Amino acid sequence: MQKKDFLSGLNSEQLKAVTHIDGSLLVLAGAGSGKTKVLTTRMAWLIQNYQLGIGEILAVTFTNKAANEMLYRVSSMLNADSRMMWVGTFHSIALRMLRAHYEEAGLIKNFQIIDSNEQQSLIKRLIKQRNLDEDKYPPRELQNFINYQKEHALRANQLSPDNLRTKYWVELYAIYEEVCNRDGLVDFTELLLRCYELLSFHDGILNRYRHQFKHILVDEFQDTNQLQYKWLQLLSGIKSTVFAVGDDDQSIYSFRGAKVGNMRAFMQDFTAPEPLLLEQNYRSTQTILAAANAIIDNNGDRIGKNLWTSQKSNDKIRLYEGYTEEDEAYFVVDEIKSLHNNDGVELSDIAILYRSNAQSRVFEQHLYNRGIAYKVYGGLRFFDRMEIKRVLAYLRLILNPNDNEAYLRVVNFPARGIGAKSIENLLLVADENSVSFVEAVNFLPEKSKKNILKFNNLIKTMQEDIKVLNLPETISYVIETSGLREFFENEKDGEDRIENLNELVTAVTGFLPENPSDVLAEFLAHSVLESLDHQAAKNEQSIQLMTVHAAKGLEFKVVFVVGLEDGLFPHDNSLNSQNNLEEERRLMYVAITRAKEKLYLLRACSRLLWGKRLSAPLSRFVNEIPAELILNISGMSQIGYSQLDGHSYKDEQYDDTGWVENKTSRVELKNSDVTLKIGDMVSHAKFGRGKILKLFAEGKKMTAEIFFIGIGKKVLDLNIAQLEKAY
């Protein structure tokens, strides 16, 4: 058979990587440098030129999507049966080995894999069986403890507890292991640990795989944790060649156990030469790459590379500093409409990236209001998130205690000792007597209704207490009184949930009901309407909303990175730790390098948090970008956010930015001695405090464009609107 030319189209560094044959190698592949092409081409080239069987190469990656793409490309290049290849995630490769050697691994033939939710349910049962208080021993915390130990290759009998709490954890870990072994259950972390132990304790099996896999390729090497690294060391031995591809500048998963230090350790442990650098980028403009290089250069412990491209573009990075999060979102949506309508950019080529899931809410609202289809990638829309639905369920019960669906959602959340059997009896009694769940408690025997009565009384107390509270205060009160805040604070991964609860309070601060006496009912109706399936159908064009973590590996023509304030991005939790701050900087590097053609950086000069407007400085990461790469298009924000407080303001005519229309910088209100000028702070009975952005005067007609804090921009007729100056 005639050999295929797999090497054409590779640049010089890609060619060196693909054809490397002298031992193990670390390839430092920058964003957009064609690493998947290098990996798949190397596999095809090795098989064709060294007469290897397609089963003699092992390729490991981190996602099924990446594994499937590699399988498809290589099988197409070789015209081979992909089922014979060993290409997959760490977990899928481990599963394949365990299925083949289940007896040696101490498993039953048809062992079952349990997901994270099933693992947590099992742990809950064990805690309950030991009569431990879930509030003191949260199941999620024990789950994280068990998984952490497994990721460090530690069994329960290898641990030495140093306090009573850890003693209980270790005992429960041991019981958990016994139950899983008895029932033939394997959780995700167990897959790799059990496979590691299989190879460690059975030399014959280990030598078989060492002999079989002449070459081992690893994608996204910067994301490997300690156990994965040890597994690779064990499996490769001294004969296999390990070809590791990664980018230390894109290591953003330390919270999952990823160790960026594995890249440096690789060169020593696998006797590899200096890493080969893939620096030519095929995705972004040179301006975008220059910004990314400048930012990441501030990280200290990195191997180091410098991205470049042959693409020519003078398009600067656009910076917009909005007054508030509403102004930030208003600008983004305006710009999206312009890009789509005037420049022909497809909606699916545009992404809005944020640091925290809670930030999506204001963008969802503005996109929804403007009729623009959107999709929250890798997550739920704001009002569909579990913690938000819990709060809304409490609010629904306050309005209508007979709302059975809302009742079931929160009667035992957070846990208040109302078990499944009690709820089952409640449902049965309600059905038999044709009453609501809240009324059905009266038909239950005394011994089984104590905790349910407590819950019903909690709702009654809430109904009374909120009568003197406004809407933001009501929601804050419900979050606290229901125990939701405390519940999520005690969850290891509850930080995002707490931020979403905070954002819900922010969301209602600017809510304007048509009927103020029914503000709670109107807000609940609004939340339902906004959570309708406005997201695009599968094949419909839509804006992509996602966290920066979710965006890794993706690319878009236009990217808006929002919320660039110190305390938000970089996150507040990272500001006092150099290691955490450097990971945040790598996250910013990932965000910037998602953009192919246009990049927008945005921040709000102030944000509402728990009903209070707080300000934060511009993200230090933006200040690390050379000024010549940035075009500030902030408009009024160029004057400075401090002007929102109504202090000094220049009267002079401004430049050609468009702030002054018809050469009008001030107007005198009819039948009044009040003079308004651009930049004045004003007060409106309905919209509150705002700042005049533009004035229009033509004959007797006078209008003003005003940015109202927490509301956004409004154009008002000055002959009708009753404005007062705010000092």
35 a catalytic residue: yes
DSSP string, 50-99: TT--GGGEEEEES-HHHHHHHHHHHHHHHT--GGGSEEEEHHHHHHHHHH
Q: Which residue in this structure is represented by tokens 């919209």?
A: 687
Catalytic residue from among 36, 166, 280, 481? 36
Catalytic residue among 61, 224, 250, 365: 250
- Residue 705 appears among annotated catalytic residues: no
The CA–CA distances, whole Å, from 201 to 98, 194, 397 equal 13, 10, 58
Q: Cα separation of 203 and 101, whole Å? A: 13
Q: State how far Cα 59 lies from the chain centre.
A: 28
Tell the residue number behind the tokens 């609010």, with chain if given: 395
Q: What is the CA radius of gyration of the chain?
A: 30
* Cα–Cα dist 25/516, whole Å: 68
**Distance from C-alpha of 239 to C-alpha of 309, rounded to nearest angstrom:** 37
Q: What stretches of 270-374 show up as alpha helix (H) in DSSP?
A: 286-296, 325-343, 360-369
For residue 117, how many C-alpha atoms fall within 13 Å in the half-sphere facing its CB? Answer: 0
Catalytic residue among 210, 552, 594, 620: 594
Q: Look up residue 255 and give its amino acid.
A: F
- Residue 550's SS3 state is helix
Catalytic residue among 13, 14, 35, 143: 35
C-alpha 337/C-alpha 319 separation (Å) is 18
Task: Indicate if 36 belongs to the active site.
Answer: yes
- Return the residue matching tokens 């304790």: 201
> Contact at 8 Å (CB) between 459 and 321?
no
Which amino acid appears at position 363 of this protein?
Answer: F
Looking at this protein, which amino acid is placed at residue 177? E
- C-beta of residue 487 within 8 angstroms of C-beta of residue 414: yes
Answer whether 137's CB lies under 8 Å from 168's CB.
yes
165 is written with which tokens?
């709490």
- Residue 220 annotated to the active site: yes
CA 490 to chain centroid, in Å, comes to 20
Q: What is the DSSP letter of 158?
A: G
Cα-based distances in Å from 180 to 93, 168, 183, 677: 21, 18, 5, 73
Residue 593 has a CB neighbour count (10 Å cut-off) of 29
List 321's β-bridge partners, or say none: 603
From 13, 187, 190, 219, active-site residue: 219
Q: Return d(Cα 703, Cα 692) in angstroms, integer.
A: 10
Question: Which of 187, 190, 220, 705 is an active site residue?
Answer: 220
Strand 317-322 vs strand 595-604: parallel, antiparallel, or unpaired? Answer: parallel
Helix count and strand count (H, E) for the chain: 26, 24
Query: What is the rounded CA–CA span in Å between residue 382 and residue 324?
Result: 19
Q: Which residues are catalytic?
A: 35-36, 219-220, 250, 594
